[in-house]
Amino acid sequence: MPRPVRSPALSVEFDLVRRLQIGWPASGVRRGCRPCDGYGPLGRCSIDGSQITNIVALLGLGFLLASAAPQFRRALPFAWEHPLGLAGLVLLVVGNWLGLYYAPQERFMGDVGRILYVHVPAAWLTMVCFTLAFLFALGFMFTNRRGLDSAMEAASEVGVMEGALLLLLGAIFARPTWGVWWSWDPRLTSSAVMMLSFVGVLLLRGVVQDFDRRATWSSIAAIFAGVNVPVTYYSVKWWRSMHQVQSETVAGSTIDDGMRWVLYFNTYAFLFLTVWFLARRWRIAETRAQAAMPEPLPQATT
């Protein structure tokens, strides 16, 4: 059988400039469909990882958008977040397999670089959660709606959980690559400050019993804590940092295609799971708030 023409998407000739960019230099080992040029174990390879990721994203985000409509939620025989949570779990398992075995080795870091497939989504989702907490806190200050206070509590707590995972994965990654578990470089310092700020918000909520006070005080604290999110994100640009700069920007990406779709696959897994955690935690907060709120007195007749 004649050897098929190589698809440009699977070409091994990578842009030299891209290879030298800070970020993830493309691996010299070409992947797309393993183990060879356009062929997989089932013969001619028809699986395109990035297409799968796009389909997953469309389905999941579409479901999430649809869940915003009360009619859609009422039509479901179960809580709207459960399908997303289940999908997230399945995607996470598949995504971990992809990251650990399927994705190409990183050019300089080798197999150590595989932790990036969970470290980066954890970082992104931590910042998303803290940004949501900031927005919910702002919303509560302007509208005084109890639901927003519960949402802020949920976002802070889930963000702290993801942030702890982020710092742990980062430490595990830093040890073989930088030689240290931790350093006081701007990205790590600002991440630690961001985490501590939100831990403070949660502690404050824990010690204040009165609902109005707790909501107002923790909203103010969350707004100030949320200022740390852009500082953390741009710390690698604003100051000299050991940590690499952003690989995925509006201007373009410095990640090889064969690696990028695995990263996004895991990111959607994290996203759907985070949405599930946020929704469940919001329900718990709402139930507690409702139980604590006194019933309105009956209307006076005079």
Partner 1 sequence: MLRQTLHMLGKEMLTEWRQRARISGVFWFAFAIVLMVAFATPNSAVLPQVAGGTLWLGLLLASTRSLDQSYAVELEHGAMEGLMLWPVDPIAIYYGKALANTLVLVLVAFALLPLVIAIFDAPVVGNPLNLIVIVLLGCMALAAPGTLYGLITSQARGSSVLLPLLLFPLVVPAVLAAANATTKVFEGDPMEQVPSWLALLTAFDIIFWSLSGIAYGKLLED
Partner 2 sequence: MLLGPNGSGKSTLIRCLGTALRPHHGTVHLGGHNLWEERAALRSRIAYLGHQPHLYDDLSGPENLSVWARLGGYTPDIPALLARVGLDPDRRDPVRTFSAGMRRRLALARILLKSPNLVLLDEPFTALDPAGRLLLMEVIRSLQDSGATLLMATHHPSVARQVCGSALILDAGKVVYSGAIDGMPESVMGAS
Binding site for partner 1 (CB under 8 A): 141, 189, 193-194, 196-197, 199-201, 203-204, 207-208, 212-213, 216-217, 220-221, 223-225, 228
The sign of the torsion formed by the CA atoms of 140, 143, 144, 147 equals negative
Q: Is the Cβ of residue 208 or residue 242 nearer to partner 1 in the bound state?
A: 208
Q: Which residue has the tokens 């000739």?
A: 13
When asked if residue 297 is in the footprint of partner 2 (CB under 8 A), the reply is yes
Residue 171 Cβ vs partner 1, minimum distance, rounded to whole Å: 19
Q: Is the Cβ of residue 119 or residue 214 nearer to partner 1 in the bound state?
A: 214
**How many CB atoms within 10 Å of residue 208?**
15
Cis? peptide before 2, omega within 30° of 0: no
When asked if residue 15 is in the footprint of partner 2 (CB under 8 A), the reply is no
Cα 88 to chain centroid, rounded: 12
Contacts (CB under 8 A) with partner 2, residues 190-229: 212
**∠ Cα 168 152 270 (to 5°):** 40
Q: Is the Cβ of residue 96 or residue 189 nearer to partner 1 in the bound state?
A: 189
Residue 216 Cβ vs partner 1, minimum distance, rounded to whole Å: 4
DSSP letters of 216-281?
A: HHHHHHHHHHHTHHHHHHHHHHHS--SSPPPSB-SS-B-S-HHHHHHHHHHHHHHHHHHHHHHHHH
Q: Is the Cβ of residue 13 or residue 295 nearer to partner 2 in the bound state?
A: 295
Kindly indicate which of the ranges 64-72, 104-112, 222-230, 289-297 contains the residues binding partner 2, using the contact rule CB under 8 A. 289-297
Q: Is the Cβ of residue 216 or residue 253 nearer to partner 2 in the bound state?
A: 216
Kindly indicate which of the ranges 4-12, 104-112, 174-182, 288-296 contains the residues binding partner 2, using the contact rule CB under 8 A. 288-296
